[in-house]
Chains A and B, each alone.
Chain A
Amino acid sequence: MATVPFDRAGRSPRRTATVFTALACTALTLLATSCARGEDEAGGGQTAGGGQARAQELDDAAGSDQTCNIEQFGMEKFDLKDMTVGFSQSEAESNPFRITETASIKSEAEKRGVELITANAQSDFAQQISDVQGLMSQGAELLIVAPLNSDGWEPVLAEAERKQIPIVTIDREINGNPCEDYVTFIGSDFVEQGRRAADRMIEALGGEGEVAILLGTAGNNVTTERTEGFKERIEEKAPGIEVVFEQTGEFTREGGQSVTEQLIQSNPEIDGVYAENDEMGIGAVTALRGAGKQPGDVKIVTVDGTEAAVQGIIDGWIYAVIESNPRFGPLAFDAHESFGKGEDVPVELIISDREYTRDNAEEELSNAY
């Protein structure tokens, strides 16, 4: 057809489409911005992140004895204050952990007066590789990377080596040679978190009972390590506890809720639930409440330390929360600073994570994120 057909009013369909799409988009935007009023506007909103809340502390016993200094690395000394720092975040800042992590890096940079450029890969690994390359070409002289995966960093590492850019990785490791490919790794010991969760579970159940595990996303080292530590400790210390159920809740609240609903149907006498993050644990609470259980009927132990989960302890639904502290800002900048001065920096810095229980939940609530 050579000509565009016109309707009775003489408008072309294409124009109608433009007008209609424009109208609908405007309506969407108006809805989005005009007169929104949330549930608790007066409540002051949430205070995520920031360096004010409890900072990370290092676990001196853990970590590596191997150290790295600037001479071994093969570059000139520098003063952190004159440098531009690039920060690459792996996942969207939509969960409390990532929000707090990014906020902590940003506020620490501000506090020290260091120029910071940031990028977020939105859980896309290829995107993170090009993000980091982008940061380097934008003039980042030091890098802080929260890697999405541990493998596949060769192109970035080669470029960083050529440009003499030291990298500090936080919360997950990059596979490579320390003091050659990167300076240091700062993070929690996820296996240890699993073991400590197991200790709390053993305590809660008195060493006897049936336990379910809500796994995180499959193929993620956080999931594997938190599972490994938990099972190892249960086997070693409490043979009376049996892990009868292991299903993934994908680290989301919805996933935790759906799986727990199925669980309490098929195993109504379940005694404990180990959720590998707080969101799934809160989902489990919603499911248990929906099934008419009372707080404490099923003992829940989770890992992270978000405000909502610690509130769950106060309400009696959650037995214990093992902390995984995301406030990496101070330690990451400290590492770069002392590295720049020529001091020896350990190539692995392990954070000592705390835990929240009924004894300290109320007073520590403000430290949760």
Chain B
Amino acid sequence: MTAVDVPAVCGDRERVIGWLQEYGVYVGVAALLVFNIAFTPHFLSVENFRTQAVQVTPVLILSLGMALVIATGGIDLSVGSVMALAAAMISLYLGYGPVAAILVALVAGAAAGAVNGALVAFAGVQAIVATLAMMIGGRGLSLVLLPQLDGIRNAGIRELGAGDLLGVPYLVWVSAALIAVVAFVVRRTVFGRRLVAIGGNRRASELSGLPVRRTLLAVYMLCGLFAAVAGVLATARLQASDPNSIGQLIELSAITAVVVGGTPLQGGRMRVAGTVAGAVLMQLLVSTLIKHDLPPSWTQIAQTAVIIAAVYVARERGRR
């Protein structure tokens, strides 16, 4: 870094850390882009960016929902299982046509989110426990419904997964739309203010008369709904419903994207653009290592390094 970024005076260290918290994730994305442009063959092509954008879509959508939940001070471990549930629904209800099947999948996702939300908001179960139960139960239920991979030949679903509009894949349109919706909700609506307030101090929010329980329920339902959207899109892209392997461990990728993006795990703050950049950063990291044909164990190590760096930067703020 240049002297502009790191002023010599010791007291400015905090300023650097603060700056890194705010913009570190973008620096990471930019660094990876520069590296790839310099060293990866065929990186600067429309096709490549299309591939990366399509591949990041499920994690990106999940991490948006996850960021909402984390902003309230909670967490949702069940998103991968909800994806599997949505995939199973698509296969079960495709006989009624693609639109009906997608609607059923979304309703199932929202219902699963409602169970999480009710347990967290009304029964006072800790989020990590409630959603862990849904993570195990949801996967189990979807495997009962659809015990094995089922190929999808429906033209509508396949078009959703592989087709494009104005040269941009439908998957990317959907994620762009959801980013816009979440950004609007968080920045411009009362609901957005409330969920951040609850994460900041639940007790104070209750005492000041905010509808804490209702808000929490809605947040978990939204997260479930987003997970179902991710499940539908992943299924469409794969051209098969695969409840056994879809979304395995993806909740961890989503949480990573949120944390790397600068949303603190203890809640009270939500960064939409940072979350998007966090998801993109992890995607670029994995893709760089794959393209350079490095062993998969390197991918895990590199991801770990990014997570620790992100959490380290966040820790500095806690001390301040």
A interface residue numbers (CB < 8 A to B)? 13-14, 16-18, 20-21, 24-25, 27-28, 31-32, 36-41, 48, 92-96, 99, 218, 244-248, 250, 252-255, 257-259, 261-263, 265-266, 268, 279, 283, 286, 289-291, 308
Closest to A255 in B: B245
Q: Is the CB of B91 within 8 A of A31?
A: no
- Cα–Cα, bound, A24→B133 (Å): 15
Q: Enumerate chain A residues within 8 angstroms of B48, measured Cβ to Cβ.
A: 265
Q: How far is the CB of A254 from chain B (nearest CB, A)?
A: 5
- Tell me which of A31, A95, A286, A289 contacts B149 (CB under 8 A): A95
- Tell me which of A25, A32, A255, A262 contacts B287 (CB under 8 A): A262
Closest to A279 in B: B149
- Cα–Cα, bound, A39→B45 (Å): 37
Q: Is the CB of A218 within 8 A of B91?
A: no
Closest to B221 in A: A24
- Given A93-B147, A291-B47, A247 contacting B293 (CB threshold 8 A): yes
- Given A36-B93, A266-B41, A17 contacting B242 (CB threshold 8 A): no
Q: Mark B105-116, 1 if CB is under 8 A from A, else 0.
A: 001100110110
Q: How far is the CB of B204 from chain A (nearest CB, A)?
A: 16
Q: Is B38 an interface residue (CB 8 A)?
A: no
Q: Tell me what chain A mostly uses at the interface: helix, strand, loop, or mixed.
A: helix
Q: Is B148 an interface residue (CB 8 A)?
A: yes
Q: Is the CB of A31 within 8 A of B111?
A: yes
B interface residue numbers (CB < 8 A to A)? 40-43, 45, 47-48, 51, 54-55, 85, 89, 91-96, 104, 107-108, 111-112, 114-115, 118-119, 121-124, 141, 143-145, 147-154, 162, 213, 217, 234, 237-240, 242-246, 287, 290-291, 293, 296-297
Q: Is the CB of B51 within 8 A of A265?
A: yes
Q: Is the CB of B118 within 8 A of A266?
A: no
- Cα–Cα, bound, A27→B106 (Å): 13
- Cα–Cα, bound, A244→B292 (Å): 10
- Given A17-B123, A27-B111, A262-B290, A218 contacting B238 (CB threshold 8 A): no
Q: Enumerate chain A residues within 8 angstroms of B287, measured Cβ to Cβ.
A: 262
Q: Enumerate chain B residues within 8 angstroms of A96, measured Cβ to Cβ.
A: 148
Most buried by A among B45, B124, B293: B293
- Cα–Cα, bound, A21→B122 (Å): 10
Q: How far is the CB of B129 from chain A (nearest CB, A)?
A: 14
- Cα–Cα, bound, A265→B293 (Å): 13
Q: Is the CB of A259 within 8 A of B240?
A: no
- Cα–Cα, bound, A225→B11 (Å): 58
Closest to B147 in A: A94
Q: Enumerate chain B residues within 8 angstroms of A99, measured Cβ to Cβ.
A: 147-148
Q: Enumerate chain A residues within 8 angstroms of B143, measured Cβ to Cβ.
A: 92, 94
Q: Is the CB of B115 within 8 A of A38?
A: no
- Cα–Cα, bound, A17→B213 (Å): 10
Q: Is the CB of A38 within 8 A of B47?
A: no
Q: Is the CB of B149 within 8 A of A94?
A: yes
- Given A258-B55, A291-B47, A31 contacting B107 (CB threshold 8 A): yes
Q: Enumerate chain B residues within 8 angstroms of A244, measured Cβ to Cβ.
A: 293
Knowing that A24-B112, A218-B296 are A-B contacts, what are 18 other residue pairs whose CB atoms are under 8 Å apart, sorted by A's residue number? A28-B108, A28-B115, A37-B92, A37-B93, A37-B96, A38-B91, A39-B95, A39-B154, A96-B148, A245-B293, A252-B245, A253-B238, A255-B245, A257-B237, A261-B54, A266-B41, A266-B43, A283-B238
Q: Enumerate chain A residues within 8 angstroms of B246, measured Cβ to Cβ.
A: 254
